[in-house]
């Protein structure tokens, strides 16, 4: 099989969507990564001539977006987020070819390793951990959430509400009684848009300090909204900044992305001082119902704890998200393909030493 570099956006997204890929393998996400100064490769693997694959004129059997991520001291690693996307027929053969393409890229570009976060659900993955280990992969820590919660928007609003936790339904109605309103960021005026981004950043700083996690730099969110805004970007993956307001003040905010049949909650923040008005509940209910009206099939809450363990660092946010109902989904996880053996061992040792 042959691996090629793809330069056609339409063909790229068509294959990703046909085979159930998410926004992390979209052409738009690759453009955003390039805007951050990262080197991006878009690989397509074609079956040999004469081998049937998909449509008559389409021999593509696998695609994956690979991003070169910077590390300290000038090192890099190659990252495949929620990929590769494959035609699952003869999956083992496809994935072995992907592995050889990764090895060749490692030899040529000299990252310390390649980290692959496979897009397959753990309970029905076409490849098993023992196979990955046989090909030289080692289990690693995920960068994207391995566990998530997906709400089926094909159900009626009444069904969606009925399947929520009673407290969540109550809080949605309470937010409505408080007069919480939802609005989208102002894109038509550059000054007002920057003001909205500043509001989001202020809320994000408060949230990360309160909940003890590290945000991306402000420029990361600014660049994402600039490159992928639905008002500016013509591609299939688009993001929106949305606020829930109480008496004219932003009480909660979210960045959501739409790709294929799914709307994904990517980043969120809120004001502790206004927690009693339940703005996050109004915000998500509005996002879900709007996505449903627009014809989307799923709302992905993008990250929950693996269980209901009250001691897990994500326990609080998991209780909030699971209150909306939905199905818990667990992916196969992240796997490293070592490249520069000595430096990879140093890297793993340092990671083990950190708390």
Say whether both 112 and 161 belong to one domain: no
Say whether both 72 and 22 belong to one domain: yes
In tens, the pLDDT along 237-296 reads 999 999 999 999 999 999 999 999 999 999 999 999 999 999 999 999 999 999 999 999
Residues near 127 by beta carbon (within 8 Å), at least 6 away in sequence: 91, 92, 95, 118, 120, 332
pLDDT at residue 355 greater than cutoff 80: no
Say whether both 237 and 264 belong to one domain: yes
Categorize the per-residue pLDDT at 54 as very low, low, confident or very high, splitting at 50, 70 and 90: very low
Say whether both 120 and 189 belong to one domain: no
Say whether both 118 and 165 belong to one domain: no
Cβ pair 327, 106 in contact under 8 A: no
pLDDT at residue 57 greater than cutoff 60: no
pTM for this model (two decimals): 0.94
Helix (H) or strand (E) holding 315: helix 315-322
If you count them, how many residues does the chain have?
355
Categorize the per-residue pLDDT at 3 as very low, low, confident or very high, splitting at 50, 70 and 90: low
- In angstroms, the CA 184 to CA 190 distance is 14
**Residue 337 sits in a domain of what CATH number?**
3.40.630.30
Tell me the residue range of the domain where 85 lies.
2-143+333-353
Burial 137-155 (b: 16+ CB within 10 A, else e): beebebeebbbbbbbebee
Say whether both 133 and 172 belong to one domain: no
Say whether both 125 and 159 belong to one domain: no
* Boundary residue ending a domain (296, 318, 344): 296
In tens, the pLDDT along 135-190 reads 999 999 999 999 999 999 999 999 999 999 999 999 999 999 999 999 999 888 88
Phi-psi region of 127 (alpha: psi -120 to 50; beta: other; left: phi over 0): beta
283 in a domain, yes or no?
Answer: yes
Say whether both 90 and 159 belong to one domain: no
- In angstroms, the CA 99 to CA 342 distance is 20
Cβ pair 110, 146 in contact under 8 A: no
- In angstroms, the CA 132 to CA 120 distance is 13
196 in a domain, yes or no?
Answer: yes
Q: Structurally, how many domains does the chain consist of?
A: 2
Say whether both 69 and 177 belong to one domain: no
Say whether both 9 and 128 belong to one domain: yes
Categorize the per-residue pLDDT at 63 as very low, low, confident or very high, splitting at 50, 70 and 90: very high
């Amino acid at each position: 099989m042959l691996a090629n570099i793809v330069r056609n956006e339409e063909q790229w997204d068509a294959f990703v969507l046909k085979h159930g890929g998410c926004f992390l393998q979209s052409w738009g996400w690759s453009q955003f990564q390039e805007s951050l100064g990262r080197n991006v490769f878009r690989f397509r693997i074609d079956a040999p001539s004469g081998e049937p694959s998909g449509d008559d004129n389409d021999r593509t059997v696998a695609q994956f977006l690979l991003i070169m991520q910077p590390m300290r001291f000038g090192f890099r690693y190659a990252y495949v987020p929620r990929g590769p996307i494959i035609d699952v027929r003869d999956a083992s053969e496809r994935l072995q070819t992907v592995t050889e393409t990764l090895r060749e890229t490692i030899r040529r570009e000299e990252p310390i390793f390649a980290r692959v976060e496979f897009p397959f659900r753990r309970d029905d993955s076409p490849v098993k951990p023992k196979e990955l280990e046989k090909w030289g992969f080692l289990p690693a820590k995920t960068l994207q959430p391995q566990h998530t919660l997906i709400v089926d928007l094909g159900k009626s609003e009444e069904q969606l509400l009925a399947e929520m936790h009673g407290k969540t339904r109550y809080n949605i109605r309470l937010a409505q009684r408080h007069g919480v309103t939802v609005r989208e960021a102002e894109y038509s005026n550059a000054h007002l848009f920057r003001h909205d981004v500043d509001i989001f950043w202020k809320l994000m700083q408060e949230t990360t300090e309160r909940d003890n996690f590290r945000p991306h730099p402000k420029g990361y969110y600014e660049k994402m909204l600039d490159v992928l805004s639905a008002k500016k970007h013509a591609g299939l993956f688009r993001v929106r900044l949305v606020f829930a307001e109480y008496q004219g003040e932003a009480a909660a905010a979210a960045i959501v992305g739409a790709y294929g049949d799914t709307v994904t909650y990517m980043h969120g923040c809120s004001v502790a001082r206004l927690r009693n008005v339940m703005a996050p509940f109004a915000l998500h209910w509005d996002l879900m119902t709007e996505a449903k009206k627009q014809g989307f099939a799923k709302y992905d809450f993008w990250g929950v704890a693996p269980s209901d363990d009250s001691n897990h660092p994500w326990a609080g946010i998991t209780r909030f998200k699971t209150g909306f109902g939905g199905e818990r989904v667990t992916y196969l996880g992240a796997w490293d393909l070592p490249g520069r053996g000595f430096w990879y061992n140093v890297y793993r040792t340092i990671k083990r030493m950190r708390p």
